[in-house]
């Protein structure tokens, strides 16, 4: 312990914690700008190295902050400068490094560092190498901004920043129609959710008068509950978009158009968990409204199952992993919704490790397969790429939740929480999902690495990835194995600011059974996957493929199609209608119509000026006559009226 | 037997007659010179005319306000002074048009200048009297001179215009006479102040006869001012007469008529003859609107300007209908402002007039003639554009201030509806003024004209006039206050 | 420097007159330097501006038409200060953006100088008649710019622009005259001074009619739905510099007019009409954004997007709280910069390809990467991404308006979605994909002149997005002054309730 | 009684002859009717004790004006039948309607007791003398103005009928033809 | 029954004659004939004026009538001048020949 205290003192003396915070935050953007300057020039390997080192620097700084906090240091909160201030609204650029954000920072920078290094190899042949690094570092900056901000609007900056970078990176190969389409879809869907987020922020501002976390949370009890639940709902709508919860989930699968490191970093480890982070960060608000929490949990459970089912049948390796991510995010929301915030965070962390690993492995496979994604065209790859196979196997086991891999600890806790809160339906759903998860994870592993080498039919010559890429993945693999073992330290650390979840008394007695049951279904899933693949490659028979359920799953419950029919197309058609029929034919035509009406009055009465003197004179006389009539009417109005009345009666 | 009449010379106040006498003697002098030595150059006559008008103006300025002269036949009140100043200044500027570079038929006649001076005198009599007989004779003197001068332009169209103008004028003279007869019958007098005294005494009964007499006056002056439906001569006369004279017709006869109309109607309006106000309201609205609409569809600039000046007349008539001191001083403000803009516009037309060159089988100044003018003659186009924008009432150019003041006077008298109609009409009017601007600035030249075609008729004096009017329209904002103060003072002095 | 505002107004016009003496070949450097000097004068104004002081500064006063109460009364507060700077700045950018081989270069440049005079004039005058004067006068140079250097339908577009705005504003003039009449009745003297008018408390029914009269003039200029149809034509046909100035500055006259005239003069009517105007704004936001999405012409798309953004500005103004109004003023500035930049960007490809049809392009990102980058930044600023200039104003306006109505606030916030839809789809269609049209494959990236115009704008977009305080603070002070005036003047209970009672100046410091 | 008979006779004859003036298709009839109407009006003037005017009417109208018209008629050769418009009916209705209106209006009592004659007719003094005194005092200015007006009319008539007009018209036509 | 002739009788006659004149003005196609009609109008007024003058015992009416006669004479001179010049060029005094300007 002496050593620990020394270290603590060392860090504080050695370097100011706020400096550390700034280094952690800003070194990625420095890297991004450096890479951006060379954005349009040909590949320079140095860029990759510089940027990666800067991210690593950020990681070190985050680690420094982590140690500072871990050893009892005070929470670091800095205000860099004022940002927006108008009326009573005053929002600074303020950053906080507390237990939760530092955990996130650590995860983000760690995974980022690995992905950056990995990308040097992965992107080596791409002409947009420098640009890629610029985007990727910008993403890291935005993500850091998101997790470090000490107010809701700062969070929103990061929130939108990661959205922008996600747009840039999904559409990185902008010459591909599908990539740019997916990028726009992701951005717009996120924006729909952001609308909710903004409304939440508006509500917070008008009811709390501030957007700082600490001030808001301090006042939270003095605000009516219905307002709080509205805030919670709207904030959660924001979270739904970023974390791709149903019904805003379709973008995540399509986002797989981006380069695989991007998928690993953004669409597995970090950005998509921002929604979960928001729920954890605003736990004071969510804790007050258990009904909303219950809704979040239910939706999470539903998404977990829903995504897992889609993952069962998909043949695209990245999409399967993406659905799996979706499913795991569902788990996190269950935990968050049920008030077990630290568990949600814990699963977030472990999931980041093994899912990033899984994606990077998939990246290796793709690289080897010359960007082929269809797992049906792979098989037997373990022979050529043993390292990758091993890493992916570790990740899959972790994902399936097999003891003692990281996934086991976090996922099992969530099931326990569901059971403990007597939400047996949730538990059941999650339990079933656990089995499915195991199944599809191993289905991939089997189809890709085992079985016959189907790729030969397609004339592909796979090769193993660069050594340094594999080495870069190793830390993730190690963490995927061992992260779960640090559960207690983790609890101690984060519950300094997060509420502790207390299991009820009775649960301890049946906890053993629960673990058994869960592990059993996971193992069953694995077994089915392995066995079926051994007997029959491809797993699904043709008859099965014509099954309705298979079709339903294969077409993602037809949801993309429905969205296209119900939202996109009508929107486009309505826009056209508004422009061509309403704007041009009604609004504009009315204006022109008035002008034309005046003009045509002129044309039609032009004949009055016929140039004929007789007509002119007659006009004069008519004028006089009309005046005479009016004179009579004016002077004898009364008598004329009585006369008329007499006639009528 | 009746007593012999003894009249002291002082009581005649010969000074009040001096201005008109000067103009008439100028005319006679010109006739005399021609008699003694014919075939003199027109310049001598122009200079003589200008000199006499100048002297005329001088003697007007030295008049004593609110004085009557010559057995009360001459009546110099504020509006008489003011309108005479306007008439004389405008006449002076317009006669300078005669210094045209080209030979025009009318300027071969020394009589033209004599007629011009007689006409000026006629208008002066019209405004400087409240005796219906003097007004009538003055009016006819001026009108008959004008008809002749139009004819002297010696084109087929000018004959036609003069005949139309004359014939309608004769009918209008009949209206005037009939209206006066009824007034005379009602009051036994032809002097307006006396007429109103008697009418007041008999409480405007029978009202119907008062109305009928005003009705015939509306007919008579409606013709003179060209309000709908008595306006039909307007466009044709503008088209038929030379631009120099058309410009004159659009300014001077109208201000004279306005003064007479003010004299006749204001008192009636204030004495509760509501009919007049109602009818004037209708006439004003119809005149403004219809003239604007007709102006929209014209193909010839001069004809367009004719309709536009009808519309402007309608605008100013509304001030008479409103009948407050503010509105009545607004008439003069407006008309002075309008005079300079119109002067400029017609000067530009006159400058571009060339005998023989025809751009259009019918029109002298079709819009196409000015197409792309900015490329051929930028300064001219800018000038013309300036005058068009001024007429359209774009601030800060002169007419805007008149419009502003009149609309304000309508509002102040609780005629908000009228104010809005006036405003909307200004908006319609913008379109046809812009049409010329568009032709000049935004279109390409149609024919292979060179820039000099637009200034073929320009002489130094014409350019000076152009310069004066352009200068005035641009910096009019600084003249508004003095003019307004002067107008308000004179109008208030006259009791309107 | 007592007459700095007078100099600011008339210097460009005088320089414009002198410009006729300058040789044709050296006219562009001449005009650029004039506009640069003008920009520096306006920046000096900022330097000399005391944001702690309440009320107008640099006031100059002289009688013009004493008998009728028309004065030469000019002065600025925090609101007009930045709009003046925006005008001078965007004029400079616009002038620089004009290429040397433009036809009739001299006429174009000198016209812009006259336009600059009118724009600055509108923002600094404090006399209603003078306001109207500059307001109307600004139409003339713009008419010429659109009509003479525009596209095929330029004449139609320019007339429509002119007549439409003229009609609206002349109704406003009637309103002004009526206002002067009421002032005359109350005080016995004629005055068109806005500062005097501010002191006049009117009963609600008068306010309503006057508000409507002013509204017509201002709404057409903004342009608000359904008076907006002139704008797509004007933008569609105008030359690049015309569009830049039109979008950046001229439209702001309308919204500025709301803040300077309608709100403080008629607080009760403002509250009375709050809901209908808010609904119109919502239509503007959502409907025009959808119409923008349907556009095939890139410039028309930007034009419709302008309308949509102006809707947010109007909403912010009618939020009637400091957050909303300050935000909408900031949004005016940011929209000025961003839409100006977008029009410049459209001009870049129009210069190269002589078409603005989106379908003609595609894949430009690989041909013109730097162009694509700047376009992307501007598109994102337009979409309202945080840390760009577009976010600050949009957020403040929306947060301000949200206080008034929950449902309408949500719909208004929909701008973040619909804005993204049209902008991103346009960006995608223009820049992404493969280069299909062979004519596009050889397009050159930005040249020096284009960099000179676009880089300053890009820098501003980011710098002001990160650090808007220098602008927000003075604006906020002036806005608070206006709101407190409105609260004091309000006669109805409802208005007193909706308009917050803000303490300003000495009171606030206590 | 005499007055009544005279008035009605004259009135009837005047109306009749003027109706002939405006309706007859023969110019000669029309002019003769005009002349007779004028003469009859002078009769009314005598009836109304306006002897001077009666004489003036006779001299100016019947003497000068009608003579002028007669010359003009010869010049224009309008002795042939005139072609008039067909749409007479509606015009006729319009005019009759207005006439009825005006006649109806004119029955209103016009005379007023408040009126005192400004220039009273003196009993026992000849009308001409009476008029002369007023004309050369009060109405001297209008009278002189009328002289100017007649001068204008004379100049106008001379100029318009003069040969110079024809000459220059021809000139311009030639110029136009050559261009 | 009062058989004496009142002022109203004269005024009625005057009005009737005036409208006969107006009728002539609007139906005549021959300009010369049209001028006749304008003379009728002026004469109608003269009757009224003289009658009023007589009934008020005031000379002003007669003065007015005198000036009207002068005006009528001048108009005839100018009018005939115009007709002469038109006739010389068009060989007609038909009103329908004056239609070159319209619209």
DSSP code string of B171-213: HHHHHHHHHHHHHHHHHS--BHHHHHHHHHHTTT-SHHHHHHH
CB < 8 Å to E93, chain D: 76, 78
CATH topology for the D1-80 domain: 1.20.120
Residue B298, sorted as left (phi over 0), alpha (psi -120 to 50) or beta, turns out to be beta
Q: How confident is the model at residue C30 (pLDDT cuts 50, 70, 90)?
A: very high
Cβ distance of E29 and D64 shorter than 8 Å: no
Q: Which chains does chain D touch, 3 or more C-beta pairs < 8 A? A: A, B, E
Residue closest to C86 by CA, chosen among C116, C57, C113, C48: C116
pLDDT at residue B133, rounded to an integer = 94
- Our CA-based measurement puts residue E80 at a distance from the nearest CA of chain D, in whole angstroms, of 7
What secondary structure letter does DSSP report for C127? B
Cα separation of A393 and A411, whole Å?
18
Task: Show the beta-strand stretches assigned E in B387-454.
Answer: none
Q: How confident is the model at residue D175 (pLDDT cuts 50, 70, 90)?
A: very low
Q: Which residue of B has its CA nearest to C64?
A: B478
pLDDT at residue A485, rounded to an integer = 84
Using DSSP, how many helices (H) and how many strands (E) does chain A show? 29, 2
CB < 8 Å to E34, chain D: none
Q: Which residue of C has its CA nearest to B406?
A: C177
Q: Which residue of B has its CA nearest to D157?
A: B148
pLDDT at residue D170, rounded to an integer = 45
Q: Do chains E and C touch (3 or more CB pairs under 8 A)?
A: no
Residue closest to C311 by CA, chosen among C383, C392, C398, C196: C398
Cα separation of C446 and C236, whole Å?
22
Cα separation of A71 and A412, whole Å?
29
From first to last of the 496 residues of chain B, give the pLDDT tens digit: 566 777 777 777 888 888 999 999 999 999 999 999 888 888 889 999 999 999 999 999 988 888 888 888 899 988 999 999 999 999 998 888 888 777 778 888 889 999 999 999 999 999 999 899 999 999 999 999 999 999 988 888 899 999 999 999 999 999 999 999 999 988 888 999 889 988 888 888 888 888 999 999 999 999 999 998 899 999 999 998 988 899 999 999 999 999 999 999 988 888 878 889 899 999 999 999 999 999 999 988 999 999 999 999 999 999 999 988 899 999 999 999 999 999 999 999 888 877 666 677 778 888 888 888 888 888 889 999 999 999 999 988 999 999 999 999 999 999 999 999 999 999 999 999 999 999 998 888 876 666 677 777 788 888 888 999 999 999 999 999 999 999 999 998 888 7
DSSP class per residue in A302-339 = HHHHHHHHHHHH--BHHHHHHHHHHHHHHHHHHHHHTT
Contacts of C316 (CB under 8 A, 6+ apart): C324, C325, C327, C328, C331, C393, C396, C397, C398, C400, C401
Interface of E with B in 27-86 (CB under 8 A): 31, 34-35, 38, 41-42, 44-45, 48-49, 52, 56, 58, 60-61, 63-64, 67-68, 70-71, 74-75, 78-79, 81-83, 85-86
Instruction: Write out the H or E segment, with its range, that includes residue B74.
Output: strand B74-76
pLDDT at residue A2, rounded to an integer = 42
Any CB–CB contact under 8 A between B13 and chain D? no
Dump pLDDT digits (tens) for E85-100.
Answer: 888 888 888 888 888 8
Is the sign of the CA dihedral B104, B105, B111, B117 positive or negative?
Answer: negative
Task: Show the beta-strand stretches assigned E in A434-484.
Answer: none
Dump pLDDT digits (tens) for A476-502.
Answer: 898 888 888 888 888 888 888 888 888
DSSP class per residue in A518-539 = HHHHHHHHHHHHHHHHHHSTTS
pLDDT at residue C426, rounded to an integer = 92
When scoring E82, E94, E96, E102 by the number of chain B Cβ atoms within 10 A, the one with the most, hence best to mutate, is: E82
Is the sign of the CA dihedral A626, A627, A630, A635 positive or negative?
Answer: negative
Secondary structure of B348-400 in the HEC alphabet?
A: HHHHCCCCCCCCCCCCCCEHHHHCCHHHHCHHHHHHHHHHHHHHHCCCCCHHH
Rounded to 5 degrees, what angle do the CA atoms A570, A574, A578 make? 175
Residue closest to E53 by CA, chosen among B58, D23, C451, B184: B184
CB < 8 Å to E99, chain A: 610-612
Cα separation of D120 and D174, whole Å?
63
Cβ distance of E100 and B160 shorter than 8 Å: yes
Contacts of B99 (CB under 8 A, 6+ apart): B43, B46, B459, B460, B461, B462
Angle, nearest 10°, between helix axes C406-413 and C298-317?
A: 160
User: What is the complex's ipTM, to 2 decimals?
Assistant: 0.91
Cβ distance of C424 and A157 shorter than 8 Å: no
Any CB–CB contact under 8 A between C239 and chain B? no
When scoring A84, A93, A166, A573 by the number of chain C Cβ atoms within 10 A, the one with the most, hence best to mutate, is: A84
**CB-side exposure of D69: number of CA atoms within 13 Å?**
30
Cα separation of C182 and C99, whole Å?
51
**3-state SS assignment for residue B131:** strand
Q: Which chains does chain A touch, 3 or more C-beta pairs < 8 A? A: B, C, D, E
pLDDT at residue A555, rounded to an integer = 81
B171, B279, B290: residue with CB nearest A620: B171
Using DSSP, how many helices (H) and how many strands (E) does chain B show? 19, 2
Q: How far is CA C144 from CA A183, A478, C111, in A?
A: 43, 72, 8
Region D84-91: mean pLDDT is: 66
pLDDT at residue D178, rounded to an integer = 43
Region C162-179: mean pLDDT is: 92
Residues recorded for chain B: 496
Return the higher-pLDDT residue of E73 and D166.
Answer: E73
Cβ distance of C387 and A157 shorter than 8 Å: yes
Residue closest to A402 by CA, chosen among A521, A531, A530, A312: A521
Domain map (residue ranges) of chain B: 11-494
CB < 8 Å to A629, chain D: 101
Q: Which chains does chain C touch, 3 or more C-beta pairs < 8 A? A: A, B
pLDDT at residue D179, rounded to an integer = 40
Domain map (residue ranges) of chain D: 1-80, 139-179
Residue in the structure block whose two tokens are 């099965």: A544
Across E43-67, b (16+ Cβ under 10 Å) vs e yields bbbbbbbbbbbbbbbbbbbbbbbbb
Q: What percent of chain C has pLDDT over 70?
A: 99
pLDDT at residue A540, rounded to an integer = 59
Any CB–CB contact under 8 A between C291 and chain A? yes
Q: D-E interface: how many C-beta pairs under 8 angstroms? A: 233
The structure tokens listed for C195 are 């500062």
Question: Does residue C194 have a pLDDT over 90?
Answer: yes
Residue D106 contacts residue E7 (beta carbons within 8 Å): no
Q: How far is CA E36 from CA B167, B173, C493, D68, D146, in A?
A: 11, 14, 75, 12, 22
Residue closest to B352 by CA, chosen among B467, B222, B449, B430: B449
Cα separation of A456 and C186, whole Å?
96
Cβ distance of B115 and D117 shorter than 8 Å: no
Q: Which chains does chain B touch, 3 or more C-beta pairs < 8 A? A: A, C, D, E
Please, where are the H alpha helices in A606-636?
Answer: 613-635
pLDDT at residue B408, rounded to an integer = 93
Q: What CATH number is attached to the domain comprising E37?
A: 1.10.287.3510
Rg over alpha carbons for chain C, rounded to the nearest Å, is 22
Dump pLDDT digits (tens) for A181-211.
Answer: 999 999 999 999 999 999 999 999 999 989 9
CB < 8 Å to A85, chain C: 469, 472-473, 476
Residue in the structure block whose two tokens are 């020096």: C448
Dump pLDDT digits (tens) for A526-567.
Answer: 888 888 776 555 555 556 666 777 788 878 888 888 888 888
Residue closest to B143 by CA, chosen among B249, B241, B214: B249
Any CB–CB contact under 8 A between A608 and chain B? yes
Mean pLDDT, chain A, integer:
86
Residue in the structure block whose two tokens are 């009318």: B106
Cα separation of B265 and A273, whole Å?
86
**3-state SS assignment for residue C2:** coil
pLDDT at residue C329, rounded to an integer = 94
Cα separation of A596 and B297, whole Å?
11
Task: Show the beta-strand stretches assigned E in C11-123.
Answer: 57-65, 70-76
Any CB–CB contact under 8 A between C405 and chain A? no
Cβ distance of A609 and B294 shorter than 8 Å: yes
Instruction: Write out the H or E segment, with its range, that includes residue B158.
Output: helix B156-187
Any CB–CB contact under 8 A between E95 and chain D? no
CB < 8 Å to A631, chain D: 105
Q: How confident is the model at residue C38 (pLDDT cuts 50, 70, 90)?
A: very high
Cβ distance of B159 and E89 shorter than 8 Å: yes
DSSP class per residue in E7-65 = HHHHHHHHHHHHHHHHHHHHH--BHHHHHHHHHHHHHHHHHHHHHHHHHHTBSHHHHHH
Secondary structure of A53-111 in the HEC alphabet?
A: HHHHHHHHHHHHHHHHHHCCCCCEEEEEEEEEEECCEEEEEEEEECHHHHHHHHHHHHH
Cβ distance of A575 and C387 shorter than 8 Å: no
Where in the sequence is the domain holding E43, given as residue range(s)? Answer: 7-97
Cα separation of B423 and B417, whole Å?
10
Residue A112 contacts residue A59 (beta carbons within 8 Å): yes
pLDDT at residue A1, rounded to an integer = 38
Any CB–CB contact under 8 A between A581 and chain B? no
Cα separation of C96 and C341, whole Å?
13
Any CB–CB contact under 8 A between E68 and chain D? no
Q: Is the peptide bond before C223 cis (omega within 30 degrees of 0)?
A: yes
Residue closest to A91 by CA, chosen among C498, C3, C323: C323
Q: Which residue of A has its CA nearest to C380?
A: A164
B140, B235, B240: residue with CB nearest E71: B140
The structure tokens listed for C223 are 């342009």
Q: B-D interface: how many C-beta pairs under 8 angstroms? A: 129
Dump pLDDT digits (tens) for A44-58.
Answer: 888 889 999 999 999
Domain total for chain E?
1
Task: Show the beta-strand stretches assigned E in chain D.
Answer: none
């Amino acid at each position: 312990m002496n050593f620990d205290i020394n270290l603590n003192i060392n860090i504080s003396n050695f370097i100011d914690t706020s400096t550390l915070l700034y280094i952690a935050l800003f070194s990625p953007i420095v890297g991004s700008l450096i890479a951006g300057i060379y954005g349009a020039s040909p590949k320079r390997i140095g860029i990759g190295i510089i940027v990666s080192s800067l991210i690593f620097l950020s990681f070190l700084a985050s680690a420094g902050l982590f140690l500072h906090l871990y050893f009892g240091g005070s929470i670091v909160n800095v205000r860099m400068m004022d940002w927006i201030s108008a009326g009573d609204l005053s929002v600074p650029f303020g950053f906080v490094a507390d237990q939760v954000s530092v955990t996130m920072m650590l995860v983000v920078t760690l995974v980022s560092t690995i992905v950056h290094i990995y990308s040097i190899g992965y992107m080596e042949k791409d002409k947009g190498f420098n640009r890629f690094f610029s985007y990727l570092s910008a993403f890291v900056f935005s993500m850091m901004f998101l997790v470090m901000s000490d107010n809701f609007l700062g969070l929103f900056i990061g929130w939108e920043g990661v959205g922008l970078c996600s747009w840039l990176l999904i559409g990185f190969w902008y010459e591909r129609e599908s990539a740019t389409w997916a990028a726009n879809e992701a951005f717009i869907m996120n924006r729909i959710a952001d609308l909710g987020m903004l409304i939440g922020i508006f509500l917070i501002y008008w009811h709390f008068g501030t957007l700082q976390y600490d001030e808001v949370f301090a006042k939270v009890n003095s605000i009516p509950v219905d307002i709080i639940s509205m805030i919670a709902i709207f904030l959660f709508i924001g979270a739904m978009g970023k974390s791709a919860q149903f019904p805003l989930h379709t973008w995540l699968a399509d986002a797989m158009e981006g380069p695989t490191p991007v998928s690993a970093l953004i669409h597995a480890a970090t950005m998509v968990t921002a929604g979960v982070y928001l729920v954890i960060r605003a736990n004071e608000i969510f804790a007050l409204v258990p009904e909303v929490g219950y809704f979040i949990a239910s939706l999470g459970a539903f998404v977990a199952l829903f995504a897992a089912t889609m993952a069962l049948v998909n043949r695209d390796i990245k999409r399967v992993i993406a659905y799996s991510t979706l499913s795991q995010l569902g788990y996190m929301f269950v935990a968050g919704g049920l008030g077990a915030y630290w568990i949600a965070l814990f699963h977030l962390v472990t999931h980041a490790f093994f899912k990033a690993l899984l994606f990077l492995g998939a990246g290796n496979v793709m690289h080897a397969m010359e960007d082929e994604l269809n797992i049906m065209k792979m098989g037997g790859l373990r022979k050529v790429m043993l390292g990758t196979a091993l890493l992916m196997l570790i990740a899959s086991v972790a994902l399936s939740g097999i003891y003692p891999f990281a996934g086991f600890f976090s996922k099992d806790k969530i099931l326990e929480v569901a059971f403990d809160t007597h939400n047996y339906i949730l538990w059941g759903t999650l339990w079933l999902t656990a089995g499915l998860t195991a199944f599809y994870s191993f289905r991939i592993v089997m189809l890709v690495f085992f079985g016959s080498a189907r790729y030969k039919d397609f004339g592909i010559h796979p090769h193993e990835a660069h050594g340094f890429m594999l080495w870069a993945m190793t830390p993730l693999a190690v963490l995927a194995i061992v992260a779960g073992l640090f559960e207690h330290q983790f609890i101690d650390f984060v519950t300094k600011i997060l509420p502790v979840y207390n299991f009820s008394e009775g649960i301890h007695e049946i906890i053993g059974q629960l673990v058994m049951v869960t592990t059993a279904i996971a193992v069953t899933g694995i077994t089915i996957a392995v066995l079926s693949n051994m007997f029959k490659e491809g797993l699904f028979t043709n008859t099965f493929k014509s099954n309705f359920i298979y079709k339903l799953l294969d077409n993602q419950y037809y949801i993309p199609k429905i969205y296209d029919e119900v939202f996109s197309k009508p929107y486009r058609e309505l826009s056209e209608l508004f422009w061509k029929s309403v704007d041009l034919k009604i609004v504009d035509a009315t204006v022109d119509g008035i002008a034309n009406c005046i003009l045509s009055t002129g044309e039609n009465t032009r004949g009055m000026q016929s140039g004929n003197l007789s007509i002119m004179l007659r006009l004069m006389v008519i004028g006089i006559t009309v005046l005479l009539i009016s004179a009579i009417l004016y002077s004898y109005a009364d008598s004329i009226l009585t006369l008329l009345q007499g006639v009528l009666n | 037997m009746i007593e012999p009449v003894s009249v002291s010379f002082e009581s005649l106040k010969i000074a009040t007659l001096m201005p008109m006498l000067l103009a008439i003697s100028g005319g006679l002098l010109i006739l005399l010179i021609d008699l003694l030595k014919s075939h003199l150059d027109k310049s001598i006559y122009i200079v003589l005319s200008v000199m006499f008008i100048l002297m005329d103006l001088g003697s007007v300025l030295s008049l004593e306000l609110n004085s009557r002269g010559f057995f009360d036949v001459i009546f110099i009140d504020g509006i008489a002074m003011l309108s005479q100043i306007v008439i004389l200044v405008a006449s002076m500027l317009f006669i300078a048009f005669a210094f045209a570079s080209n030979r025009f038929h009318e300027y071969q006649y020394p009589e033209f200048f004599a007629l011009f001076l007689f006409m000026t005198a006629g208008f002066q009599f019209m405004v400087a009297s409240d005796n219906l007989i003097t007004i009538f004779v003055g009016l006819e003197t001026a009108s008959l001179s004008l008809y002749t001068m139009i004819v002297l332009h010696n084109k087929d169209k000018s004959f036609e215009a003069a005949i139309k103008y004359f014939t309608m004028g004769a009918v209008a003279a009949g209206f005037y006479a009939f209206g006066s007869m009824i007034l005379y019958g009602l009051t036994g007098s032809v002097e307006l102040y006396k007429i109103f005294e008697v009418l007041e005494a008999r409480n405007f009964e029978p009202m119907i006869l008062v109305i009928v007499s005003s009705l015939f006056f509306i007919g008579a002056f409606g013709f003179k001012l060209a309000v709908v439906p008595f306006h039909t001569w307007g466009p044709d006369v503008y088209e038929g007469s030379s631009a120099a004279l058309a410009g004159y017709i659009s300014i001077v006869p109208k201000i004279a008529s306005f003064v007479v109309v003010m004299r006749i109607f204001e008192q009636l309006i204030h004495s509760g003859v509501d009919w007049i106000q109602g009818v004037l309201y209708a006439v004003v609205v119809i005149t403004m609107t219809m003239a604007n609409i007709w102006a929209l569809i014209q193909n010839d600039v001069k004809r367009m300007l004719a309709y536009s000046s009808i519309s402007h007349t309608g605008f100013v008539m509304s001030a008479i209908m409103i009948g407050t001191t503010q509105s009545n001083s607004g008439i003069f403000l407006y008309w002075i402002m309008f005079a300079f803009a119109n002067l400029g516009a017609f000067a530009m037309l006159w400058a571009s007039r060339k005998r023989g060159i025809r751009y259009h089988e019918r029109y002298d100044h079709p819009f196409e003639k000015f197409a792309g003018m900015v490329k051929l003659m930028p300064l001219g186009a800018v000038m013309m554009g300036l005058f068009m924008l001024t007429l359209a009432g774009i601030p800060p150019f002169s007419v805007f201030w008149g419009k502003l003041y009149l609309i304000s006077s309508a509002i102040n008298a609780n005629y908000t509806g009228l104010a809005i109609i006036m405003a909307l009409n200004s908006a319609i009017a913008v379109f046809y003024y812009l049409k010329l601007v568009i032709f000049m600035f935004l279109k390409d030249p149609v024919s292979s004209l060179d820039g000099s075609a637009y200034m073929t008729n320009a002489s130094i004096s014409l350019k000076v006039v152009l310069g004066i009017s352009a200068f005035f329209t641009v910096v009019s904002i600084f003249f508004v206050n003095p003019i307004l103060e002067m107008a308000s003072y004179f109008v208030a002095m006259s009791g309107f | 420097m007592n007459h700095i505002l007078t100099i600011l107004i008339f210097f460009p016009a005088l320089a414009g007159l002198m410009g006729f003496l300058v040789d044709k070949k050296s006219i562009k450097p001449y005009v650029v330097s004039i506009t640069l000097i003008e920009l520096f004068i306006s920046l000096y104004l900022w330097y000399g501006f005391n944001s702690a002081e309440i009320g107008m500064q640099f006031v100059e006063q002289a009688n013009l038409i004493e008998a009728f109460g028309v004065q030469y009364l000019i002065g600025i507060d925090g609101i007009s200060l930045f709009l003046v700077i925006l005008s001078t700045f965007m004029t400079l950018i616009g002038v620089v953006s004009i290429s040397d081989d433009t036809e009739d270069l001299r006429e174009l440049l000198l016209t812009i100088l006259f336009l600059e005079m009118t724009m600055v004039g509108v923002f600094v005058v404090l006399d209603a008649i003078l306001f109207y004067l500059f307001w109307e006068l600004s139409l003339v140079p713009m008419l010429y710019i659109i009509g003479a250097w525009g596209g095929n339908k330029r004449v139609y577009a320019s007339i429509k622009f002119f007549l439409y705005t003229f009609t609206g504003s002349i109704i406003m003039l009637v309103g002004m005259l009526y206002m002067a009449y009421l002032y005359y009745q109350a005080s016995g003297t004629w005055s068109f001074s806005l500062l005097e008018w501010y002191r006049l408390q009117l009963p609600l029914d008068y306010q309503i009619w006057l508000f409507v009269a002013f509204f017509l003039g201002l709404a057409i200029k903004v342009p608000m739905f359904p008076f907006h149809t002139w704008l797509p034509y004007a933008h569609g046909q105008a030359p690049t510099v015309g569009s830049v100035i039109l979008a950046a500055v001229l439209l702001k006259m309308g919204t500025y007019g709301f803040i300077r005239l309608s709100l403080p003069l008629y607080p009760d009517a403002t509250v009375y009409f709050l809901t209908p105007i808010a609904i119109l704004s919502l239509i503007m936001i959502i409907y025009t954004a959808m119409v923008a999405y349907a556009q095939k012409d890139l410039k028309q798309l930007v034009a419709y997007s302008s309308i949509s953004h102006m809707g947010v500005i109007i909403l912010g103004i009618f939020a009637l709280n400091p957050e909303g109004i300050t935000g909408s003023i900031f949004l005016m500035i940011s929209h000025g910069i961003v839409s100006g930049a977008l029009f410049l960007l459209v001009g870049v490809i129009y210069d190269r390809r002589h078409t603005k049809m989106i379908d003609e392009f595609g894949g430009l990102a690989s041909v013109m990467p730097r162009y694509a980058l700047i376009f992307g930044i501007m598109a994102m600023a337009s979409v309202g991404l945080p840390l760009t200039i577009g976010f600050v104003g949009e957020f403040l306006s929306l947060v301000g308006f949200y206080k008034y109505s929950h449902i309408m606030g949500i719909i208004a916030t929909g701008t973040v979605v619909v804005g993204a839809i049209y902008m991103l789809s346009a960006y995608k269609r223009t820049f992404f994909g493969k280069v299909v049209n062979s004519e596009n494959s050889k397009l050159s990236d930005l040249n020096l002149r284009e960099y000179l115009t676009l880089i300053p704008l890009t820098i501003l977009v980011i710098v002001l997005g990160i650090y808007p305080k220098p602008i927000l603070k003075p604006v906020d002070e002036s806005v608070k002054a206006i709101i407190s005036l409105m609260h004091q003047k309000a006669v109805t209970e409802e208005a007193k309730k909706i308009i917050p009672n803000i303490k300003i100046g000495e009171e606030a410091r206590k | 009684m005499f007055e009544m008979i005279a008035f009605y006779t004259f009135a009837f004859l005047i109306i009749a002859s003027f109706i002939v003036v405006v309706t007859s298709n023969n110019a000669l009839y029309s002019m003769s009717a005009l002349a007779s109407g004028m003469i009859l009006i002078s009769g009314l003037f005598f009836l109304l004790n306006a002897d001077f005017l009666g004489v003036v009417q006779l001299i100016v109208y019947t003497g000068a004006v009608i003579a002028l018209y007669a010359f003009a008629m010869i010049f224009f050769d309008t002795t042939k039948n005139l072609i008039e418009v067909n749409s007479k009916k509606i015009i006729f209705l319009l005019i009759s309607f207005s006439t009825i209106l005006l006649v109806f209006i004119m029955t209103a009592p016009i005379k007023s007791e408040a009126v005192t004659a400004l220039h009273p007719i003196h009993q026992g003094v000849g009308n001409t003398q009476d008029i002369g005194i007023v004309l050369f005092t009060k109405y001297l200015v209008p009278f002189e103005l009328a002289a100017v007006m007649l001068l204008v009319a004379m100049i106008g008539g001379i100029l318009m009928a003069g040969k110079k007009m024809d000459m220059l018209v021809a000139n311009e036509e030639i110029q136009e033809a050559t261009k | 029954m009062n058989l004496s002739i009142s002022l109203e009788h004269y005024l009625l006659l005057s009005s009737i004659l005036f409208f006969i004149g107006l009728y002539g003005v609007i139906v005549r196609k021959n300009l010369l004939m049209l001028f006749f009609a304008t003379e009728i109008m002026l004469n109608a007024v003269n009757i009224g004026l003289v009658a009023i003058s007589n009934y008020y015992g005031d000379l002003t009416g007669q003065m007015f009538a005198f000036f009207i006669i002068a005006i009528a004479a001048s108009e005839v001179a100018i009018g005939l001048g115009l007709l002469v010049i038109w006739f010389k060029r068009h060989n007609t005094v038909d009103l329908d020949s004056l239609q070159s300007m319209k619209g």
